[in-house]
Amino acid sequence: MNIRGLGAALAVTACLLTACSSGGDGGDATSSKATEYTIWDPYPQFDDSSDWVKLLTKCGTDAGVTVKRTGYDTTDLTNKALLAAQQGNSPDVLIVDNPVVSTLAEAGVLTTTEDMKIDTTAVSPNLLAAGQQGGKTYGIPIGANTLALYYNKKVLDAAKVDPATIKDWASLTAALTKVKAAGKKGITFSAIGTEEGSFQFLPWFWGSGANLTQLDSAQGVAALTLWTDWLKNGYAPNSVLNNTQTTSWQEFAAGDFAFSENGTWQLANAKKTGFEYGIIPIPSQAGGTAPAPTGGEFVTAPVQSDTGKYPTTQKIVSCLTSADNALTTDTTLSYVAATDAVQQKQVAATPELKVWVEAVKAAKGRTSDDLGTKYPKISQPMWGAFQAALSGSKNPQQAMTDAQAAAGK
């Protein structure tokens, strides 16, 4: 089919219908003197009056251009970015969830930081790793978040559990047993069959010493057995199978649960619950802090047909990730900064962030270890495995064996 001809015919039809208004933001970005730069981000919760959008506008103004910003739902943004790239309509700056960076890089949508001359030296290597593939870096983190355990002090006190004693899986499970015996609920998390569930499973998976390239190792099975036994013994509710992280937070906020596995971003909400809470790192099986996955977004610069736009794009990206601005943004998002220097400032301002800064230092990117786009092919069977085991359709060993078979294909 002759698509161009069809396109032209449609353009005429469309013109008739719209009196040829030129409201589109596409196709007109071919001149190097373009003064409108588009930015897409996954923060639809922020409107034009928010600090975030004000910062974007300011960074644009400083670079001598106007900024047109659009916030998309985060799950929607990947498709949107691919589709726009296919049609040559990529935004100038794209802010995406870190595991998506490798997919977009693989698709050839993103420029490297080297090409763009963006300085990434100050960024903690474990955070930057999520945006690296084949020795190249495709963006710079705007900040990071990770998972830890929130606890409800009142519930623990009633069950006579001292959170400081929780150092490994055994002591955690023992604490849950006591909580249940005291008539309260144990722990809630999100084991939903999406990337969100994998994100929540990884601290336990990695905390057992397992490796993503071998899902059905003894350690991997042990991690899944831990979750499955919690459910079987009534330490965790059945609803975790369908919980998003928000749902599991709401369960915790109702006040009956002792623990909730949740992220840095819930800090602001934690203050609103009206009960005393605390935070401990997620323990590993043998003791010590388990590596949790890094969450948070990367600022990236998609490839443009008009390379003359890059110097201005570089200015905007540098502005967004500069120390002062990163501090503002990370405070707004309730994230931990990606650089040492800013992290120290954050802790100085808010001492309770210390736990989180420690957690982020121990954290690990999902697509790190040069897994890149292999990660999604592992993550999907992995969430299939914990869904199967938790719903009782398979035992943990079987579930992980099947998952490994699917991932290895």
Partner 1 sequence: MTKPLKTTIGVILTAIMLFPVYWMVNVSFTKDTDMRADPPHLFPFNGTLEGYRAVLDQQLPYLGTSLLIGAGTVVLTLLLSAPAGFALAKLRPRGTGALNFVLLIAQMIPGIIMAMGFYAIYLRAGVLNTVPGLILADSTIAVPFGVLIFTAFMSGIPDELINAASIDGASKFRTFRSVILPVSRNAIVTVSLFAFLWAWSDFVFATTLDGGGDYQPITLGIYHYIGNNNQQWNAIMATAVIASIPATLLLIVAQRYVAAGVTAGAVKD
Partner 2 sequence: MTSHVETLVRTRGSSRVRRARGQWAAWAFLAPVIIYLVAFYAYPLYRNLDLSLRHYTVRSFVQGDAPFSGVDNYKTVFSDPTFGPALLHTMVFTLVSIAFQFAIGLALAVFFTSHFKLSATLRALFLVPWLLPLIVSASTWSWMLNSDSGIVNYALSIFGVDQINWLTSPDWALTSVIIANIWIGIPFNLVILYSGLQGIPNDIYEAAALDGATGWQRFWRVTFPLLRPVSLITLLLGLVYTLKVFDLIWIMTKGGPTDASTTLATWSYRLSFGNLLPEFGPGAAVGNLLIIIALFFGLLYIRRQRRD
| Contacts with partner 1, residue ranges (CB under 8 A) | 6-7, 10-11, 14-15, 17-18, 20-27, 38, 42-45, 47, 68, 70-74, 76, 80, 83, 86-87, 89, 97, 145, 244-247, 249-251, 253-256, 263, 265-266, 269, 272-274, 295, 297
| Cβ closest to partner 2, residue 192 vs residue 301 | 192
Q: Is 267 helix (H, G, I), strand (E, B) or coil?
A: helix
Euclidean distance between CA atoms 342 and 330, whole angstroms: 10
341 binds, among partner 2, partner 1, none (CB under 5 to 8 A by kind): none
2 binds, among partner 2, partner 1, none (CB under 5 to 8 A by kind): none
Tokens 């519930």 sit on residue: 155
Q: Which two tokens stand for residue 62?
A: 């400083």
Q: Closest distance between partner 2 and the C-beta of residue 40, in Å? A: 16
Nearest to 331 by CA among 306, 356, 314: 356
Q: Closest distance between partner 1 and the C-beta of residue 282, in Å? A: 17
**DSSP label at residue 13:** H
| Cβ closest to partner 1, residue 194 vs residue 269 | 269
Angle at 62 between CA 57 and CA 66, to 5 degrees: 45
Q: Closest distance between partner 2 and the C-beta of residue 380, in Å? A: 6
242 binds, among partner 2, partner 1, none (CB under 5 to 8 A by kind): partner 2
Q: Closest distance between partner 2 and the C-beta of residue 186, in Å? A: 12
| Cβ closest to partner 1, residue 101 vs residue 389 | 101
253 binds, among partner 2, partner 1, none (CB under 5 to 8 A by kind): partner 1
116 binds, among partner 1, partner 2, none (CB under 5 to 8 A by kind): none
| Cβ closest to partner 1, residue 194 vs residue 397 | 194
| Cβ closest to partner 1, residue 27 vs residue 288 | 27
| Cβ closest to partner 2, residue 332 vs residue 391 | 391
| Cβ closest to partner 1, residue 44 vs residue 408 | 44
Q: Closest distance between partner 2 and the C-beta of residue 325, in Å? A: 28
Nearest to 42 by CA among 313, 335, 374: 335
Q: Closest distance between partner 1 and the C-beta of residue 99, in Å? A: 13
Q: Is 283 helix (H, G, I), strand (E, B) or coil?
A: strand
Euclidean distance between CA atoms 203 and 165, whole angstroms: 19
| Cβ closest to partner 2, residue 241 vs residue 357 | 241
Q: Closest distance between partner 2 and the C-beta of residue 103, in Å? A: 5
Euclidean distance between CA atoms 366 and 359, whole angstroms: 15
Number of other residues whose CB lies within 10 A of the CB of residue 246? 13
**DSSP label at residue 37:** E
Q: Closest distance between partner 1 and the C-beta of residue 179, in Å? A: 15
| Cβ closest to partner 2, residue 94 vs residue 353 | 94
Tokens 């915790």 sit on residue: 252
Q: In the complex, which residues of this chain contact partner 2 (CB under 8 A)?
A: 1, 3, 6, 9-10, 13, 78-79, 82, 85-86, 99-100, 103-104, 106-109, 192-195, 237-239, 241-242, 251, 254, 373, 375-377, 379-380, 384, 387-388, 390-394
47 binds, among partner 1, partner 2, none (CB under 5 to 8 A by kind): partner 1
Q: Answer yes or no: are the C-beta atoms of 224 and 398 closer than 8 Å.
A: no
44 binds, among partner 2, partner 1, none (CB under 5 to 8 A by kind): partner 1
Q: Closest distance between partner 1 and the C-beta of residue 111, in Å? A: 21
CA dihedral for 158, 163, 165, 168, sign (positive or negative)? positive
Q: Which two tokens stand for residue 68?
A: 């047109």
- E strand or H helix at 36, and its extent? strand 36-41
Strand 136-137 to 132-133 pairing: antiparallel
Q: Closest distance between partner 1 and the C-beta of residue 307, in Å? A: 21
Q: Answer yes or no: are the C-beta atoms of 301 and 105 closer than 8 Å.
A: no
Euclidean distance between CA atoms 24 and 178, whole angstroms: 61
Q: Which two tokens stand for residue 290?
A: 């388990």
| Cβ closest to partner 1, residue 39 vs residue 403 | 39
272 binds, among partner 2, partner 1, none (CB under 5 to 8 A by kind): partner 1
Burial profile 249-285: b = 16 or more Cβ within 10 angstroms, e = fewer: bebbbeebbbbbbbbbebbebbeebeeebebbbbbbb
Q: Answer yes or no: are the C-beta atoms of 375 and 388 closer than 8 Å.
A: no
